[in-house]
């Protein structure tokens, strides 16, 4: 199953026009994402508020992540200060995967932002969390926190933003999206050999673990005849034909 590095802003000095900071609200957005990530089987490592962009980049590069996702809100300079609105999803211009992920996330944000025409993707070589990380990456500027309407929109739409972002990630990784967990216990039921647990719900996906007959599993969710399971800490998909729910 995919694993991402989740990097909400650590910029505690960027104040919202209606109270709070970028660090505070982007960490709240990350909090809202966690149940959707867990339900959909996307594993994650998350930075902490005492880190910096540089240390988050270093931590991401020290691991073996399938994707790096930075969560930020924006502020305009000069004559546009307090006036600009909209969402920008940044990606590195040399990364086809980053561009595809940015487009999926932007498409999702267009469904919830008041003016879809103000949601766009943009290539950049100047933002470290897209230019200096090894994994495909995206940095989301969710909206402008120095604009009263945008700042209010962020605060009032954390859950819907979290949902569409994780939905876009599941589309990027080509796995099912689940709203919440529906945990049950199961037991492997095969006549011979082992049950293959795979990275995606199809028989051609890579095998991530094998479970013998009678082995207990935790079923997290079920989709189209496949169970998303936890087997001894390994998250993956098992065919429902060979699992008995207990």
On whether residue 52 sits in a domain, the answer given is yes
pTM of the full structure: 0.95
On whether residue 100 sits in a domain, the answer given is yes
On whether residue 178 sits in a domain, the answer given is no
User: 144 and 204, same structural domain?
Assistant: no
On whether residue 109 sits in a domain, the answer given is yes
Beta-strand ranges (E) seen in 61-215 are 67-74, 87-91, 119-123, 137-144, 184-188, 194-198, 207-212
Written as six digits, the tokens of 106 are 């932007």
- For residue 72, give its domain range: 3-173
User: 197 and 219, same structural domain?
Assistant: yes
> Pairing relation of β-strands 207-212 and 194-198?
antiparallel
Instruction: Indicate the number of domains in the chain.
Output: 2
User: 204 and 155, same structural domain?
Assistant: no
User: 58 and 158, same structural domain?
Assistant: yes
On whether residue 179 sits in a domain, the answer given is no
User: 225 and 132, same structural domain?
Assistant: no
User: 23 and 141, same structural domain?
Assistant: yes
Q: What is the pLDDT along the chain (246 residues), one digit of tens a residue?
A: 999 999 999 999 999 999 999 999 999 999 999 999 999 999 999 999 999 999 999 999 999 999 999 999 999 999 999 999 999 999 999 999 999 999 999 999 999 999 999 999 999 999 999 999 999 999 999 999 999 999 999 999 999 999 999 999 999 999 999 999 999 999 999 999 999 999 999 999 999 999 999 999 999 999 999 999 999 999 999 999 999 999
User: 157 and 237, same structural domain?
Assistant: no
In angstroms, the Cα distances linking 162 to 34, 106, 118, 208, 232 are: 9, 13, 19, 28, 28
Partners of residue 138 on adjacent β-strands? 69
CATH number at residue 95: 3.40.630.40
What's the pLDDT at 85?
A: 98
CA angle 73, 78, 81 (to 5 degrees): 40
CATH number at residue 202: 2.30.30.40
User: 142 and 63, same structural domain?
Assistant: yes
């Amino acid at each position: 199953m995919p694993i991402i590095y989740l990097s909400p802003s650590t910029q505690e000095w960027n104040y919202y026009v209606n109270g709070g900071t970028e660090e505070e609200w982007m960490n709240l957005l990350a909090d809202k994402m966690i149940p959707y990530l867990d339900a959909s089987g996307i594993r994650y490592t998350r930075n902490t508020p005492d880190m910096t962009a540089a240390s988050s980049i270093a931590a991401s590069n020290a691991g073996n992540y399938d994707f790096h996702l930075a969560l930020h809100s924006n502020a305009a300079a000069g004559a546009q200060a307090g006036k600009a609105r909209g969402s920008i999803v940044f990606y590195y211009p040399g990364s086809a995967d980053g561009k595809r992920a940015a487009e999926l996330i932007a498409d999702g944000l267009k469904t919830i932002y008041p003016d879809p025409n103000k949601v766009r993707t943009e290539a950049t070589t100047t933002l470290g969390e897209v230019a200096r990380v090894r994994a495909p990456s995206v940095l989301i500027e969710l909206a402008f926190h120095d604009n009263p309407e945008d700042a209010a929109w962020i605060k009032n739409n954390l859950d819907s933003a979290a949902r569409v972002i994780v939905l876009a990630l599941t589309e990027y990784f080509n796995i099912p999206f689940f709203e919440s967990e529906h945990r049950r216990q199961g037991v492997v039921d095969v006549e011979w050999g082992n049950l293959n647990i795979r990275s995606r719900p199809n028989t051609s996906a890579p095998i991530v673990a094998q479970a013998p007959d009678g082995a207990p599993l935790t079923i997290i969710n079920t989709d189209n005849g496949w169970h998303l399971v936890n087997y001894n800490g390994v998250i993956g998909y098992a065919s429902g034909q060979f699992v008995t729910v207990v």
